[in-house]
Amino acid sequence: MTDTTDRTALLATLVALAEAGGDVVWGHFVAGCAVMHKADESPVTIADREAEAVILAGLATLTPAIPVVAEEEAAAGRVPDVTGAFLLVDPLDGTKEFVGRGDDFTVNIALIEGGEPTMGVVYAPARDALYWGDVTRGAWMAARKPHEPRHDEQPIRVRACGGAPCAVASKSHAMPGLDDWLDAGGIATRVSVGSSLKFVLVASGEADVYPRTGPTMEWDTAAGDAVLRAAGGRTLDPDGLPFVYGKPGYRNTGFVATGGYEPAPLRPYLP
């Protein structure tokens, strides 16, 4: 996808569908909904499933040529064959925060090209915050309340790290080896936040680095990672190499997402 018009139109489509999915999620958050569990014991709600259905219906109409790997479809065993570019969808990242009435949950859509997340949208309806980006054009954020037009759009960029770095870490998961990695890097300031918001805090210059020693799935990380890369950041694998997508089972190992901070390899600190 090299044509500027095509990329602009696709990004606009992904933003609009993330907003639509977020509106569905918000409706269930306000009303409350029952929690079920998938085969791996992870929580799932009707909000996950209905938001994903809205997003997939839109993608099937507007981008039918691009395969889609979506979290709830994958849980049901429906995963398309992928040989080129594809989309990753997580309709509700941070289900634990959603169920616990927190505001750290997001809707995520990303485009993967050549193993790299090149375009992505992260919408946090409970925070009235929308982030999106394309590595060929840059990244932006805006205020966006559910069911209302977005406003106050502004470009975002990772910050230079000239002083004491600030790290963001998971709110819901203990990470073996993480404290040791942070201590070795002299990182004393840590902010705890859930979901893909960790990526966009680095992308918007509110933090410097997001290390993760535990496993995730690619749909958990791709959209935030795309926004970060569009904002001038990087995501590295445990050996300090570029973090790639389209791995077997769409499973991630540890990684370090960073802005201007130069991180040490994560490998020695993995469990």
Residue 161 inside a domain? The answer is no
- Determine if residue 93 is labeled as part of a ligand binding site: yes
Whether 107 and 231 map to the same domain: the answer is no
Give pLDDT tens digits for 225-262.
Answer: 999 999 999 999 999 999 999 999 999 999 999 999 99
- CATH number, domain of 54, equals 3.30.540.10
The CATH number that applies at residue 248 is 3.40.190.80
Q: Which burial class, exposed, middle or buried, applies to 179 when counting CB atoms under 10 A from its CB (0-12, 13-18, 19+)?
A: middle
> What is the rounded average pLDDT of the residues 209-213?
95
The pLDDT assigned to 170 comes to: 77
Computed over every residue of the chain, the mean pLDDT equals 93
The pLDDT-based confidence of 174 (bands split at 50, 70, 90) is low
71 in a labelled binding site: yes
What local confidence, expressed as pLDDT, does residue 173 receive? 59
Is residue 41 pLDDT above 70, yes or no?
no
CA atoms within 13 A on the CB side of 105: 29
208 close to 228: Cβ distance less than 8 angstroms: no
pTM of the full predicted structure? 0.95
- Please give the residue range of the domain that contains residue 212: 166-269
Q: Is 19 part of any known ligand binding site? A: no
Average pLDDT over residues 169-196: 85
Domain identity same for 203 and 261? yes
- Are residues 152 and 20 located together in one domain of the fold? yes
Instruction: Indicate if 110 and 43 belong to the same structural domain.
Output: yes
Q: Count structural domains, the chain.
A: 2
Tokens of 235: 């995501």
End of a domain among 156, 175, 202? 156
Work out the end-to-end distance of the chain between its first and last CA atoms, rounded to an integer number of angstroms: 39
> Considering 125, 156, 187, which residue would you say is the last residue of a domain?
156
State what percent of residues in the chain have pLDDT above 90. 79
Q: Are residues 203 and 263 in the same domain?
A: yes
Residue pair 180/265 in contact by the 8 Å Cβ criterion: no
How does DSSP classify residue 74? H
pLDDT at 96 over 90: no
220 known member of a binding site = yes
**Same domain as 82, residue 133:** yes
- Three-state DSSP string of 106-168: EEEEEEEECCEEEEEEEEEHHHCEEEEEECCCEEEEEECCCCCCCEEEEEECCCCCCCCCEEE
Judge if 37 and 112 occupy the same domain: yes
Residue 106: beta bridge partners? Answer: 93
What whole-number distance in Å separates Cα of residue 62 and Cα of residue 236? 32
Q: Same domain for 43 and 82?
A: yes
Q: Are 233 and 257 in contact (CB under 8 A)?
A: yes
For residue 33, CA distances in Å to 85, 106, 123, 124 come to 35, 17, 20, 18
Task: Judge whether 90 is annotated as a binding position.
Answer: yes
Angle made by CA atoms 79, 8, 104, in degrees to the nearest 5: 60
The predicted-structure confidence for 116-171, as pLDDT tens digits, reads as follows 999 999 999 999 999 999 999 999 999 999 999 999 999 999 999 878 899 998 76
Which of residues 156, 181, 206 is at a domain's end?
A: 156
**Residue the block writes with tokens 């594809």:** 86
